Amino acid sequence: MPSPFEKPILTAGQAAAWIRSGQTVAIGGSGAGHAIPERMLEALGRRFRSAGEPRGLQVIHPFGVGNQGSRGLEQMAHPEMYRRVVGGHWSMSPSMARLAAENRFEAYCLPAGVIVQLFHAAAAGSPGYLTEIGLHTFVDPRLEGGRLNDVTREEIVELVTRNGKEYLFYPAIPIDVALIKGAVADTQGNLSMREEVAPWHNLALAQAARASGGVTIAQVKRVVAPGSLDPRDVRVPGIFVDALIVDPGHGMTYEIFYEPTLAGEARRPESDFPPFEYSPRKAVARRAAMELAPGAVLNVGFGMPDGVIKVAREQGFAHQVMATIEQGQIGGIPAEGLEFGAAYNASAIVETGQQFTFYHGRGVDVTFLGFAEIDRQGNVNVSRIENAIIGVGGFIDISQKARKVVFCGMLAARGKPKFVEQVRQVSFSARNAHLRGQEVLYVTDAAVFRLTEEGVRLDEIAPGLEVERDVLPQLGFRPLVKEPLDVMSPELFREEKLPGRLFSKFDLSRE
């Protein structure tokens, strides 16, 4: 007699037929194929194009889902498929972001870490998640409540006061269908993430679906016999999985089939990494790295901020700080570009929810993040550029509780000021920073600014530049100016390795 715990192995098309119109579908993974159940997304898009079903879905995804091209949610970019989309990050699927901007369905953006915690809340039968994350940003109902367009009117974030303190309450969202991806499953659905870049939030998602009376469909590379998996490698027990689909060709990411140094199964030697060539971006990363201290636990964001780790390695003190990224990696070297979300040579890889619990609990000493706009008050926008919806990912989760925040970017972009009178959307709140006593710097290729009680203040200027001639014409407002104004170290702008005196807090004897 077959075991009652054996799971059906379906084609992607058969699995797509399990999803009915009007259901709530949550998608695991992140970015450019990191544990994205790609075959399911393809099959759902194909089914809609051929049969007009499913329609009116509510889709939830904490991170971006796609490669800014044809993958991920791009394959499902049909407005009739949705009544509502709740996304943490949108720009990985430009067509979905455009449809949201065009009012084709209800659209929200919530912090990625909050969405992951909502999976935990649904899994536990909790009414929701109470937190300070999002206060005074566009997620706060006193601003936009996370709503992204005019057809989105329902308030899904509540402002509450408890013991004299303000919080945001995010009601839990029941999950009808969870779509996740792992490396290997046995025939009873026990799922290993060993060959993936991280375990992600798959367990919380699958538990949320089970608690909601829903189902979980897992995409894997191969299926093995029961008892074949080391139980310590099982990250989603089979009791939470309802069906499997098999795709032997799916990789760790869209571009990488398997890289053991991203999975913690090997170490990549330093000599295998390309040198950090000089550019204005490197100058920014160098100046930002001067804000590090021995023993600091830090977070680095996507893009220019990851150069801070490159500088620390180049200068010989990377072993004296501990980098983390929101996807769950602690230690190691973050992968670049669309592969961000993975890390080489990590010391530990935890579930996404555990990492965000750490961030929400103010565990980060200093975070290095990018910016699109900064205004006179010191607010930062990364989530909406003109009419384009970008989203925040873990930006709010990280920046709101870090003890020190260093924003990294160019002074202007394509001739347009990035320092503006008022940001288009508040992704980082200067008011919240003042309330928390955060130290906040804004490091650019031409100057360094600091958040003060009176607003943004210009503290340092690059050598050879003049404030009136070179800096102020590139700003959308006139900031406060420190007297006397400091000059950034000229060595930051040279190709040679920096002198050790710029990092005097560190023991450089191992250089």
Q: Which listed residue (38, 106, 314, 326) is catalytic?
A: 326
Which residues does 356 contact at the CB level (< 8 Å), separation at least 6? Answer: 112, 113, 116, 117, 326, 394, 397
- Cβ atoms of 141 and 155 closer than 8 Å: yes
Q: How big is the CA angle at 335 (ends 331 and 337), to the nearest 5 degrees? A: 145
Which residues does 130 contact at the CB level (< 8 Å), separation at least 6? Answer: 160, 162, 167, 168, 169, 170
Q: How many CA atoms lie within 13 A of 162 on its CB side?
A: 9
- At 246, the amino acid letter reads V
DSSP state, 198? Answer: -
Q: Over 261-293, what HEC string results?
A: HHHCCCCCCHHHCCCCCCCHHHHHHHHHHCCCC
Which residues does 283 contact at the CB level (< 8 Å), separation at least 6? Answer: 445, 492, 493
Classified as helix, coil or strand, 67 is coil
- At 461, the amino acid letter reads I
The dihedral formed by the CA atoms of 295, 338, 405 and 138, expressed in degrees to the nearest 10: -140
Report cis status (omega within 30 of 0) of the bond before 54.
yes
Using CB atoms within 10 A of its CB, is residue 491 exposed (0-12), middle (13-18) or buried (19+)? middle
Classified as helix, coil or strand, 323 is strand
Examine the residue annotation and report whether 326 is marked as an active-site residue of this protein: yes
- Cβ atoms of 36 and 70 closer than 8 Å: no
- At 182, the amino acid letter reads G
The neighbouring-strand residues paired with 57 are 82
Distance CA 207, CA 204 (A): 5
- At 41, the amino acid letter reads L
Classified as helix, coil or strand, 177 is strand
**Other Cβ atoms within 10 Å of 410 Cβ, number:** 17
Distance CA 27, CA 37 (A): 8
- Cβ atoms of 478 and 472 closer than 8 Å: yes
Q: Tokens for 211? A: 């608690």
Distance CA 16, CA 24 (A): 14
Distance CA 445, CA 278 (A): 12
Distance CA 295, CA 293 (A): 6
Active site residues: 326
